[in-house]
Amino acid sequence: MGAEVRDMMPGYDCPHEAMYLPATTHSEIGSITRENGICIFEHDTERPLTRHVGLLDGESGAVKGYVLTIRTISTVGKCVSCLWY
């Protein structure tokens, strides 16, 4: 599905502040590079990863949970010989 990789859409596929990387694919007709073919970002789960409650007042804490996401999109349709740019 490499030749079917498409550019990621900032604000839709990935957050605007994500890191965007190029993706180069190879086929029988040559190489294609999508400038924003991959995005990487952290997502705050809005839930604590760990919680700690101590015996004394004020002796508690939490570590926020984050998920590292690496995303790319391939659009696969009925026309296997078509390349859309």
Q: What is the percent of the chain with per-residue pLDDT over 90, rounded to a whole number?
A: 44
Q: Is the pLDDT of residue 16 over 90?
A: yes
Long-range contacts of 2-5 (CB under 8 A, 24+ apart): 2/26, 2/27, 2/74, 3/27, 3/32, 3/83, 4/74, 4/75, 4/76, 5/32, 5/34, 5/37, 5/72, 5/73, 5/74
Q: What is the percent of the chain with per-residue pLDDT over 70, rounded to a whole number?
A: 87
Q: What average pLDDT does range 21-42 have in this prediction? A: 90
Name the least confident of 8-17, 23-32, 73-82. Answer: 73-82
* pLDDT for the residue numbered 51: 82
Q: What average pLDDT does range 56-60 have in this prediction? A: 80
* pLDDT for the residue numbered 62: 84
Q: Is the pLDDT of residue 58 over 90?
A: no
* Phi, psi for 35 (deg, rounded to 5): -65, -35
Rounded alpha-carbon distances, angstroms, from residue 47 to 26, 60, 65, 68, 76: 41, 16, 6, 15, 35
* pLDDT for the residue numbered 37: 92
